[in-house]
Structure 1
Amino acid sequence: MPHIENSPEHATSQTSAQPSAGLLDTRYQVETPEGIDLTLRPAGLVPRALAYSIDLIIRGVVMGLMYLLLGMLGKLGMGLGTILLFLVTWWYMVLFEVLNQGRSPGKQWMGLRVVHDDGTPVGWPASLTRNLLRFVDILPMGYTFGILSCLNSPTFKRLGDIAAGTLVVYREEKPQPPILPEAEAIRAPFALSLKEQRAILGFAERANGLSKERRIELAGIIAQQLQVPAEQAEHRLNGIAHSLVGPR
């Protein structure tokens, strides 16, 4: 597995990463020093182009409104407009990427974000590099170099991403906590193995989809171990499930 050289700002967190092989949809596998595998989904050319188009429209609207207002100030307004054009052109993306978890408004709309190659949040040096080199990706016209670079990269990197060591990936949604039947959290009367904990949680999570008779039947299997009558075992299991999940 190839090794990634990290930028100075996160050099202490060394990881190895590579695109997953043998999958129809691209995955980018990152292994942390703790041995935890992270899977990132690089965004392709089309969603990235749509995100950039949204940002371009937003910047155009902002600049249009500001020029209308600044036009009332005559030459002073023209000078301020030039400064504003520079700031919006070069700092719009950087500020949003660094201060908004790698997401410009367009990327946020499309469910994308920018990260370092090792999956860590993008920082100032990397964001500045990838956005300053955008003028190279634009050459010779219509983002030709950038498009060719994306199409030839297994992780859809444009030249700015290659230089900065960044990826544009899909933002993973946080999993919703399971909905458990109402019950007061109680501790199990005996030590539970990991397999038993999973079984109890699985029972509680599926309870709403099971008939009452089936729930009683399943819970009754371990009623004796729970030290309760069979008809009370279901409620006891739900209470143990709540204690395993913890307060929410």
Structure 2
Amino acid sequence: MSQPTRSPQPGGEPDLAAVAALFADRSRARILTTLLDGRALPASRLAAEAGVTQQTVSSHMARLLDAGLVTVERSGRHRFYALAGPEVATVLEALAHLAPVPPVASLREGSRAKRLRDGRTCYDHLAGRLGVRVTTHLIDRQVLVRTDGGDGVRRSHSDDLSAPSVVAPFEVGPHAAEELARWGVNLVALQHDRERSRPMLRFCTDVTEQRYHLAGALGAALLHSLRDQGWVTSGPRPRELSVTEAGEAALGRLLDGSPAQP
């Protein structure tokens, strides 16, 4: 059974240091980054990704659970852990903008970095070159109409690089439903979803591309549709996305006949 995110309690100033300390440990940071693709993963997978023992992972997860940063669900004898919500993913993305990037030290690391830049998940929506390219297409087709006078997917000068998730400088265009239907997204149903508590449109400043990519409820619905139709699939490592053969053809048609791969 999943544990809910801890509700704010009345009192004085938030204790930022207590939360920041949870992100400061390298193993915990790797665990949280592994969960950034929105999936629920068992402790054994998290241990392998973080390069620590399952006993160490269990200790880390206990602290993260107590802080409300992750949830856990039992399935048989196993426990599956996931980020507690998009707000945790936003913090991780913000830290990624501020963090130094170590030099690539091997061919394997270089290949991994390229795959992540080409296409990846940012919690529950598309990121990387593919995410930015799809967002650009939606702007070109006036599915998304910019409201701040900016140009395309270029970030606003007022948007700090350390604050990747922003209230959208866009609105949904008048003919968006028809175009989104081609992508398998029912805009009317999404707009009338009474259980939706998150904004329809949010945007992240992409870590690698320094351009906007679509997030929010619409971004999540778009990625969900691409997965359901078999156009993209998870890569060999967490967060990586690969465009399938069927996706190459479909996305090529949708993206005005140009190649689907960035």
Decide: shared fold, TM above 0.5. no
Q: TM-score, normalised by structure 2?
A: 0.21
Q: Which has the higher contact order (CA 8 A, sep 6+)?
A: 2
Query: What TM-score, normalized to structure 1?
Result: 0.22
More strand, by proportion: 2
Higher fraction of helix: 1
Larger gyration radius, structure 1 or structure 2? 1
